[in-house]
Structure formats: structure tokens, C-alpha cells
Structure 1
Amino acid sequence: MRIVRNVAALGAVTALAVGSTVALSTTASAAPNVTPQGVCGKAYKTVNSVPVGSLGTVYLTYNSSNGQNCVATIRANPGTAKLMSAYIYVPATDAWAGDDGSFTSYAGPGYVYGKGYCVSWGGSIANVYVSVENSNCAARKEQRVTEIR
């Protein structure tokens, strides 16, 4: 009888371990792998980026087939929701787009038509703000600013 209990206990422990492994691996693989293309779209190529301190990165992407730029702020370590933002502005056309709020992994996307224009863009995570002015145009040198408030 003792052997039967030990075998049954071993079977239960094995089933529990296998079940836990399956449950954990399913949860881990279901976690999103956030990329600029995952936020903006597969046709968008990263053309510029700026770090938001050690908290994450703001990405500027461009789709050559439609002339659209997209911006997204992506956290380095997703987790508890934090105040975040992403914005893009085309001074020549006065077009802008953005996103802000409390997010667990990214802010954005924000889309504007930018073909042939300088763009200004940036974002924030918690109390770290970054901006890039007059970017991605040959006519001017971009200006980058990081601010902690």
C-alpha cells in the first residue's frame, strides 16, 4: 500500500510540475514583444530614435509607400502603468499627432504625413522628457533635448 501511495504522490507531483510548466510557458510566450514596427505597422522602418534616460526609447519610423511618419515611445521594462507620451509635429504643415496617458509598455502610435518635411518629435516616460527638433531633413541640423522634471 505504501508503494501505491508513493507512486500516486509522485504522479501527482509530476502532473503538477508539467501543468505549471505549461501554464508558465504559455503566459511567457503570450507577453507582447513590443517593437516600433509592432506599434506603427510592418511597413514602417525605424529612421531615428532617442533614449528616454534608462526607461525606454522614442522611435521615429517612416513608411516610404505612403509618406507617413509614425512615433512610438516604448518602455525598456514593461510593468505597472506609468505616465507616458509620444508626439510628432511637422512645422511646415502644422500637422501633429500624439498619444499620452498611463501605459504599461508603450505610448503611440502617432501618424503624420512627413514626406519632404522636417519633423519634430519626442515623448516621455514618468518624469523624463525628450524632444528632437528639425529632424530627418537635410536642410537643418536636429536639436535633441532631454529634461527631467
Structure 2
Amino acid sequence: MMRKAALALITSAAAVGAAGVALAGPASAATSPAAVCGSGYSVIDHKALTGSTVYLLWNGSSGRNCVVTVKTTSVGTKTRTGAYLYVQGSSPIDDTDSYAYYAGPVSAPAVGKCVQWGGGTNNQFWYSGWTHCT
């Protein structure tokens, strides 16, 4: 929850920055899906939807996948937003609630497994088939 509050402040600052106020470099870096998932994660796939973008990330050091859904509309307003990760042979993990900026992160070990991933907002939800088998 602390990361979501920090990202909310940074995202608000980014909106002000878009209006013409200069921002420091680290603030924009913290709004990335990799910053939400944590150190060592890189985006390996994404799905742009109406109202959000869902990101699938991988951390090669820990062997974990992570999913984050970042809102692109109604940013700052709490709406139904979700992130979903299902690792083959495990139970699905879902973080769906009313969020102002993003849902997730949801993460799980996935070495040697296929994953299904997805998420979205009230505007549109999407889920992959089995993919990214490692």
C-alpha cells in the first residue's frame, strides 16, 4: 500500500509536469511498472487496453513474473482496476479493487512454467492464453 501511495504522489507530480512544470528524472522513473514490481524486474510484454496498459515483467535473478496494470484514463479517480497472474501448476493471483493509479503488483515464481496474465479497468479487461514458458 505504501508503494501505491508513493506512486500516486509521483503520478500526480507527472501530471503537473505535463502541464509545464519541470520534473526531476527520478520521479518519472518511479512511475514505471518495473519500479512498482521492484528491483531487478524488466518488462517482457504488455497489452494496451482502453483505459489502461497491463504489463508482464520478469526478474531473471529471482525467477519471478510480476503483473501491473497502469491506468491511462480516470487517473487519480478510484475505479475498478485489476492485475492477474496464473502460473502453471499454481493458484491464480489477482489484485482487483478500486484504485486511483494502478493495480498490482502480483508476482510469483515461474521458472520452467507457462503463465497466463492480464488485467484492466472498468473500460476493458483482457487475459492472455498460456504464454512466456520459461
**Alpha-carbon separation, structure 2, partners of 1:128 and 1:28:** 33
Deviation per CA, 1:59-103: give whole Å up to 9, x if none.
000100011100000012422111100010012x22332211111
Report what 2:46 is aligned to.
49
**Alpha-carbon separation, structure 1, partners of 2:52 and 2:22:** 21
Work out which of the residue numbers 25, 28, 37 in structure 2 matches 1:40. 37
Identity among equivalent positions (%) equals 34
Report what 1:90 is aligned to.
87
List, as ranges, runs of 4+ consecutive aligned residues in structure 1 with deviation greater than 3 Å.
27-30
Report what 1:122 is aligned to.
118
User: Rg larger in 1 or in 2?
Assistant: 1
> How many residue pairs align between the two structures?
111
Structure-2-length-normalised TM-score: 0.73
Could you tell me whether the CA contact under 8 Å between 1:96 and 1:112 is conserved in 2?
no
- Which structure is higher in RCO with an 8 Å CA cutoff and minimum separation 6? 2
Structure-1-length-normalised TM-score: 0.66
2:91 equivalent to 1:100: no
**Alpha-carbon separation, structure 2, partners of 1:29 and 1:126:** 30
User: Any gaps of 5 or more consecutive residues in structure 1?
Assistant: 1-23, 139-149
State the one-letter code of the partner of 2:52: G
Q: CA RMSD in A?
A: 2.2
2:78 equivalent to 1:81: yes
**Alpha-carbon separation, structure 1, partners of 2:110 and 2:48:** 22
Report what 1:133 is aligned to.
129
Could you tell me whether the CA contact under 8 Å between 1:44 and 1:63 is conserved in 2?
yes
State the one-letter code of the partner of 1:130: W
Work out which of the residue numbers 65, 69, 77 in structure 1 matches 2:65. 69
**Alpha-carbon separation, structure 2, partners of 1:41 and 1:95:** 22
